[in-house]
């Protein structure tokens, strides 16, 4: 499998989405917090080079699904296969080492550390020379990691922090990037910037599983979509088809009202 990197050479080796193999296969996944069943018997997959979006109302189970993939939410049933290997019972550290990076909701940077220090922590597995090489590649797509390198991360705006968080996740050169609500709470100009970044990653054949509340924008960038309701899969299909049916529903809803 090709590693995801902002280096075009790496991306261009990736297989086109239409011919691609399944990189992530989730079968009958259930996640429960005590008696709260957050995800119920979920089946979904992501192919190499695809951008897939997971949609649903607040509390539908989207974050729980992403967190379960990296072993951060209590999986109570089902299997998660990544790159042909069952990772359902692996530790988060082992899963990340195998090539999945999560940008969590709320970004979770170390506010008192500089942007550069945050990046270094995100790439703990890289040697100094490799870190420098990857960082320089990333500066092309994320100029902010150079211009604000020595500022405290907590002093950056939400949108700037989100860019640092995505850059940090990419430093590990993941084969699969998980993005949890990257545009949440950002100013409109920063929402545009974040979707531009996702578009650029997609052009470079990155494999992305995105959770978003901004369904319209997400469906425009994604190849396929899954819609969750109360922890269950409600709908899945091509992003274009789901966008059309969602727009029709909204239109018919307005006409009926």
Residues contributing to the site for ligand ATP (CB under 6 A)? 33, 36, 38, 56, 58-64
Q: How far is the CB of 69 from ligand ATP (least distance, A)?
A: 12
What is the smallest separation between the CB atom of 152 and ligand ATP, expressed in angstroms? Answer: 27
**CB nearer to ligand ATP: pick between 205 and 214:** 214
- Torsion angle of C-alpha atoms 215, 199, 115, 112, degrees rounded to 10: 0
The CB-of-110 to ligand ATP minimum distance in angstroms stands at 22
**Can you state the percent helix, strand and coil of the chain, rounding each to 5?**
40, 25, 30
E strands within the chain?
22-33, 36-47, 51-56, 75-82, 85-86, 100-103, 176-180, 208-211, 224-229, 232-238
Instruction: Provide the minimum distance between the beta carbon of 64 and ligand ATP in the complex, in angstroms, as a whole number.
Output: 3
CA angle 145, 72, 53 (to 5 degrees): 65
By beta-carbon proximity to ligand ATP, the closer residue of 73 and 145 is 73
Instruction: Report d(CA 128, CA 126) in Å as an integer.
Output: 7
Residue placing its CB nearer to ligand ATP in the complex, 33 or 110: 33
Residue 74 or 237 having the CB closest to ligand ATP: 74
Q: Which is nearer to ligand ATP, 61 or 78 (CB)?
A: 61
Taking the complex as a whole, how short is the minimal distance between the CB of residue 184 and ligand ATP, in angstroms? Answer: 8
* Number of other CB atoms surrounding residue 175 within 10 Å: 21
Toward ligand ATP, which CB reaches closer, 59 or 237? 59
Closest of 227, 220, 183 to residue 56, by C-alpha: 227
Q: How far is it, in rounded angstroms, from Cα 183 to Cα 185? A: 6
Least distance from C-beta 9 to ligand ATP, angstroms?
35
CB of 209 to ligand ATP, least distance (A): 13
Nearer to ligand ATP, 170 or 211 (CB): 211
Residue with structure tokens 């727009």? 247
61 SS3 class:
coil
| Calculated CA dihedral for residues 65, 194, 206, 98, nearest 10 degrees | -50
């Amino acid at each position: 499998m090709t590693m995801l990197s902002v280096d075009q050479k790496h991306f261009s080796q990736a297989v086109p989405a239409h011919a691609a193999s399944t990189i992530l296969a989730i079968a009958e996944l259930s996640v429960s917090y005590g008696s709260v069943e957050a995800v119920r018997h979920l089946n979904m997959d992501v192919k190499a080079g695809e951008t897939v979006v997971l949609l649903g109302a607040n509390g539908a189970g989207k974050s729980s699904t992403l967190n379960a993939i990296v072993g951060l939410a209590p999986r109570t049933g089902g299997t998660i296969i990544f790159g042909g290997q069952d990772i359902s019972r692996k530790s988060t550290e082992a899963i990340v080492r195998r090539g999945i990076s999560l940008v969590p909701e709320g970004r979770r940077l170390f506010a008192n550390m500089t942007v550069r220090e945050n990046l270094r922590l995100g790439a703990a597995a890289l040697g100094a020379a490799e870190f420098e090489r990857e960082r320089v590649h990333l500066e092309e797509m994320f100029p902010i990691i150079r211009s604000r390198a020595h500022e405290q991360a907590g002093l950056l705006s939400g949108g700037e922090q989100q860019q640092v968080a995505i850059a940090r996740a990419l430093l590990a050169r993941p084969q699969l990037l998980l993005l949890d609500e990257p545009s949440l709470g950002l100013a409109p100009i920063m929402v545009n910037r974040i979707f531009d970044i996702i578009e650029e990653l997609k052009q470079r054949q990155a494999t992305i599983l995105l959770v978003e509340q901004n369904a319209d924008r997400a469906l425009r960038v994604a190849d396929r979509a899954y819609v969750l309701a109360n922890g269950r899969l409600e709908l899945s299909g091509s992003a274009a088809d789901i966008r059309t049916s969602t727009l029709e529903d909204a239109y018919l809803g307005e006409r009926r009202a």
